[in-house]
Chain A
Amino acid sequence: MRYSPEEILEVVNMLTREDLDIRSVTLSINTLFASSHDGRVVLDRLSTLERIMSRFVEAVYLVQEKLGVRIVTKRIAISPVQYLLEPNPREELVVEVGKLLDEMAKGTGVDYVGGFSAYAERGTSRGAQVLLNSLAEVLNSTERISGALNAGSTQSGLNVDAVKQFVSQLFQMSPKASSRTAVIVNSPQDSPFIPSAHHGPGMPNASVNIAVSGPGVIAEAIRRSKPFTFQELYEVVKRAAFKVTRLGELVGRAVSEELGVNMGAVDLSLAPSPTVGDSVAEILETMGISRVGGPGSVAALALLMDAVKKGGSMATNLVGGLSSAFIPVSEDPIMANRVREGYLELSDLLAMSAVCNSGIDMVGVSKRVGHERITALILDVLTMGIVLNKILGVRLIPLEAGPGEEVDLGGLLGKVVVADVKEVEVSQFVRMGGFLPTPIKRLETG
């Protein structure tokens, strides 16, 4: 097959100057074989994953070396630990399982193990309760363990009691531990991203899910083409998103073949990183919104999202995960700057969440705000998710610092800026117990 020098250099530019890489290859594994009434049996059976982890890491290195494409992280997604706990609901077992998997991940070179997760949309099962009670201890005592609480769905409503328990755990977590958990609604079964990654029900025993990272490619494509009309802008984004997703498809297929497991899903999401030039905010600002958070930000993000999805869906049949544009504030240096400068507030992030699938992500909050206002903020995002039938979540970093201050978490997590939460009394609303019934949208499916 012949390529013109322009085609070759376009790809080389994307892979070198524009930071196109594979954010994650995530091996999703059914781990319910470890289920037992006896905790020792659970741990013994889970320890057999070490061999699989080693083989997986080796396969990812081989593919990286063969293709010449950088793969940033290697992750494992396990069945929600909630289900392992149903026959043996003991908090000590969750902590032991966490430590075992954390050690195995460190020993084999797996960057994260996702799946310390629970589904509790309508109520909290025994296993979900034990997991929720232990979440802070598990995440504080490990480095590579991650998990999410699916507290609601358009099909089942929203479990406000579980959200409150999650907030209570969140306040006991270290900043780094809190970066590995989220509370979400309409959780996807095949996410390659942390903290939503888990091996969901209805999946084959193992599959490979892929996350790409190409904000720099999209921003550069817009900058180069200088579009005059919205249609031209749309076309530029769509074409660039197609190419970015194709790389994900290639790497997914290559790793699947190497491991002999099914290719699962390619998550179309544009995931930023603290590297300069790898920012979703930069794309919006390149479109002409000079400071993200200003008027037009939602429109620009909506256009970006739709064009990315259209381009991405042509590039792979296996669309999955969250497939959105992420707006994790600390991981996106321009977003973080705009929060610090006062252009981007929590209400702006909430409005932007209506057109992407991130929610309020990697935002610092002062512990002085208290449980009730944080719970209410989370409820704002989650109800938006169930009413709009979207995957939305909240990942907050509780800090001792005050609004405007920042804490550096290092690596891909970046600098967390503390956002201002309005000082409004909400306790009467939040103190009510129970769950929010299913929204009327539920009736569209029967």
Chain B
Amino acid sequence: METAVIVVIGVDKPGIVAGISSALAKRNVNIVDISQTVLRGIFAMIMVVDVEKSQVSIGELRRELQQVGKELGVEVLLYHGEVFKYMERV
């Protein structure tokens, strides 16, 4: 499994999870974990996904998700799982 972390930041409204999820499904990216929290007083959705079988590169996936985010009026960030492994685990 090759993980990536997606963070969606913005005002909570219907369609965010659906929009991001369908963009991921289109590229064969599997959602491993999903949670919601508040970041800087704003709604934040965190998804851990498996990009091993993704049909596009992680950079391309980031651009596609950011486009979806733009349409939904939210900010989308995507980092490789290694970033969290290196910084949060010894």
Is there an interface contact between A68 and B44, defined as CB atoms closer than 8 Å?
no
| Whole-angstrom CA separation of A15 from B9 in the bound complex | 14
Interface residues of A in 37-79 (CB under 8 A from B): 65-69
B-contact bits for A231-275, CB 8 A (1 contact / 0 none):
000000000000100110110001000000000000000000000
Residues of A within 8 A of B59 (CB): 65-66
A10 touches which of B3, B78, B88, B89 (Cβ 8 Å): B88
Most B CB contacts (10 A, CB to CB) among A8, A69, A249, A250 go to A8
Is there an interface contact between B79 and A11, defined as CB atoms closer than 8 Å?
yes
Is B13 an interface residue when CB atoms closer than 8 A count as contact?
no
A3 touches which of B78, B84, B90 (Cβ 8 Å): B84
Residue of B nearest to A65 (CB): B59
| Whole-angstrom CA separation of A275 from B33 in the bound complex | 35
Residues of B within 8 A of A66 (CB): 57-59, 80
Residues of B within 8 A of A243 (CB): 87-88
Is A9 an interface residue when CB atoms closer than 8 A count as contact?
yes
Number of A-B residue pairs at CB separation under 8 A? 77
Is A443 an interface residue when CB atoms closer than 8 A count as contact?
no
Is there an interface contact between A68 and B79, defined as CB atoms closer than 8 Å?
yes
A12 touches which of B39, B48, B90 (Cβ 8 Å): B39
Residues of B within 8 A of A65 (CB): 57-59, 62
Is there an interface contact between A68 and B37, defined as CB atoms closer than 8 Å?
no
Is there an interface contact between B44 and A9, defined as CB atoms closer than 8 Å?
yes
| Whole-angstrom CA separation of A264 from B48 in the bound complex | 32
Is A424 an interface residue when CB atoms closer than 8 A count as contact?
no
Residues of B within 8 A of A68 (CB): 58, 62, 77-80, 83
A250 touches which of B39, B77, B83, B90 (Cβ 8 Å): B83
| Whole-angstrom CA separation of A17 from B44 in the bound complex | 15
Residues of B within 8 A of A314 (CB): 90
B81 touches which of A1, A7, A13 (Cβ 8 Å): A1
B15 to chain A, nearest CB (A): 22
Residue of B nearest to A9 (CB): B39
Is B31 an interface residue when CB atoms closer than 8 A count as contact?
no
A311 to chain B, nearest CB (A): 12
Is A2 an interface residue when CB atoms closer than 8 A count as contact?
yes
Known pairs A8-B7, A9-B39, A65-B59; A249 contacts B79 (CB<8 A): no
Interface residues of A in 1-45 (CB under 8 A from B): 1-3, 5, 7-17
A156 to chain B, nearest CB (A): 39
Residues of B within 8 A of A249 (CB): 86
Residue of A nearest to B7 (CB): A12
Is B5 an interface residue when CB atoms closer than 8 A count as contact?
yes
Is there an interface contact between A11 and B84, defined as CB atoms closer than 8 Å?
yes
A123 to chain B, nearest CB (A): 46
Is there an interface contact between A8 and B84, defined as CB atoms closer than 8 Å?
yes
Known pairs A1-B3, A65-B58; A250 contacts B79 (CB<8 A): no
| Whole-angstrom CA separation of A151 from B33 in the bound complex | 57
Is B85 an interface residue when CB atoms closer than 8 A count as contact?
yes
Residues of B within 8 A of A11 (CB): 79, 83-84, 87-88
Residue of A nearest to B3 (CB): A1
Is there an interface contact between B83 and A67, defined as CB atoms closer than 8 Å?
yes
Known pairs A1-B89, A8-B5, A243-B87; A69 contacts B79 (CB<8 A): yes
Is there an interface contact between A16 and B81, defined as CB atoms closer than 8 Å?
no
Residues of B within 8 A of A15 (CB): 79, 83
- Partner-A contacts on B (CB < 8 A): 3, 5, 7, 33, 35, 37, 39-40, 44, 46, 48, 57-59, 62, 77-90
- Partner-B contacts on A (CB < 8 A): 1-3, 5, 7-17, 65-69, 243, 246-247, 249-250, 254, 314
The 4 closest A-B pairs by CB, nearest first: A65-B59, A68-B79, A250-B86, A5-B37
